[in-house]
Chains A and B, each alone.
Chain A
């Protein structure tokens, strides 16, 4: 087990209880990145971020600099929307960044607006996060008073307002087009892509960049230290540092900023500085590598690096940096029901496969858990999943406008394909599976695919 000694970037101030104040932020290098950026041209700032190869930290993992380049030329105003609607089960990082170091986020927002040419920014914070909203409101008020935000920032021709906006309880609003709908004052229903790719037709149908909190929080460091210094950390396709929340049955649940792409799941779960091993010396049964939407991993996946490509090839995703650990005492049917119930509750209702399918999955799992299931219910669960996401393949085949529907199928396929005996114990008999399940995390790599890779 090797643990990198790379320096913390975005959590560097977490040890300082007063880091959220403007005084402490300025005393620890705060707003230096903004000053450095303003001395460059916007194009040079974009280049620096491209050199850094900063991948989005919200879930999709798209390179931030490339995403910025999708805004059509000559179409203004452009908007920046900050996605601080952190709600993926298992995910706990953006709230910490907003509560403990709000100025770092604000500085990141300013750098992005300067680089992309955004005339207004909206910082969308999850409604339930009262302290984060208070810390950001105070930080913005102080930053306006000091001339960091607003008109003619630090005496330059760069002007932008950052508006603190907040939600009111809806997981789906974490999806970028639903977030835009919500910001327009509507129900949070996702939009069809194409044509509504936010960079082309986003807020008020104008070019809009939607970036995650953690993504933007990296920008001050990247601009101060240079994109190359950032790219020197991490692996080939996963640069820099990244925050992971390790929760569930580990000795030391916590949020850790680790070197991206180099650290393995085994390090994260077992290293004394991170998870510290399974609690009470129990055995690992399964872990979710990237939030409730991600297919589950098992013992054989522990040596995979926390690297987007390797995890995707194995059939899952790093998602929002949420690792949930389950030991052998976990009832997989009960865990599966809880995850499915989440998606059933949070389905916005726009697309039939998701609206109806998630509800059916919940009902079938409820009756199984309550001892009223039949052996054929196990295959029926997979059949419903197959109608939401054909074959439960990876990457998923989507039948809905957004990925929420297919996400509800992953705990079902994961639990059944690996722990069918637990379902059989509930339904009182052997369960025959006729639905074809394709995802490698569910069934392991198929022989022909494994040889094709070699």
Chain B
């Protein structure tokens, strides 16, 4: 599959420029690759290895540690149902069972049409709004079985695409540090006291 497109190489270069050491950009760049293709391909990982200056094996090493990175295709919509304690107490496991029924796949599976992948996930920090789930990391709080059914119907029919971008797109707003405002990365090899600490005694 795909290496990064020229446009994404430009984005990658901007991200890399913020870090004192390039490997620090690896997780953001893996997200960029997943945003481009919907999952993280071997070709993309090789390309990232070139950009970051590490071996492809190191990229796979990092990638394979983190739950969000998918190294095989998943559905356009990743439905993550929380079943951890606060949700379990208020019907999270029953909600997951209902999602399995509605989608016709078990947790971990993808629907044959490639629209949905269902996951049984750990706490997603919405504990007072239990039971809850995320679709492509957008929250649905205190969701009922009926509401889940409606949501699935909407997504299947191609509605709510403004609200929920395809899998791989997490934040739709990127940070930009303007060149004339940048303080620049702090090089760990240069031991210089910051000026505002050095001039401390001059203040009243």
Which of A's residues lie within 8 Å of B, judged by CB? 40-43, 74-77, 79, 86-92, 94-95, 114, 117-120, 126-131, 133-134, 137-138, 140-141, 144-145, 147, 149-151, 156-161, 163-171, 182-188, 203-206, 245-249, 253-255, 288, 292, 322, 324, 326, 330, 334-335, 338-339, 342, 345-346, 348
Contacts and interface: CB of A to CB of B under 8 A. Distances in A.
B137 A129 contact: yes
List the 4 shortest-distance A-B pairs measured between CB atoms, nearest first: A169-B67, A168-B66, A185-B26, A185-B23
Interface stretch (B98-106, B109-117, B120-128, B146-154): B120-128
Contacts, number: 242
A348 B67 CA distance: 12
Contacts of A88: 123
B198 to A, nearest CB: 9
A158 B195 CA distance: 7
Contacts of B187: 77
B25 interface: yes
Given A128-B134, A184-B24, A245-B127, A163 B18 contact: yes
A184 B126 CA distance: 29
B85 A167 contact: no
A292 B21 CA distance: 35
Contacts of B140: none
B158 interface: no
Contact of A117 (B88, B128, B174, B197): B197
B52 A185 contact: yes
A77 B195 CA distance: 12
6 contacts: A89-B86, A90-B127, A92-B126, A119-B183, A133-B171, A149-B181
B203 A151 contact: no
A246 to B, nearest CB: 7
A245 B128 contact: yes
Q: Classify the secondary structure of B's interface with A.
A: loop
Contacts of A119: 183, 186, 194
Contacts of A335: 85, 88-89
Q: Classify the secondary structure of A's interface with B.
A: mixed
Contacts of B23: 184-186
Contacts of B129: 92, 253
Given A89-B123, A204-B20, A253-B130, A188 B65 contact: yes
Contact of B127 (A150, A161, A322): A322
Contacts of A133: 170-171, 173
B2 interface: no
Contacts of A338: 83-85, 88
A254 B141 CA distance: 12
A86 B85 contact: no
Contacts of B26: 185
Given A87-B123, A187-B62, A248 B196 contact: no
B128 A255 contact: yes
Nearest to A188: B65
Contact of B89 (A95, A137, A330): A330
B128 A137 contact: no
A382 B186 CA distance: 48
B68 A342 contact: no
Given A141-B176, A150-B182, A185-B27, A120 B20 contact: yes
Contact of A324 (B19, B80, B127): B127
Contacts of A342: 84-85, 122-123
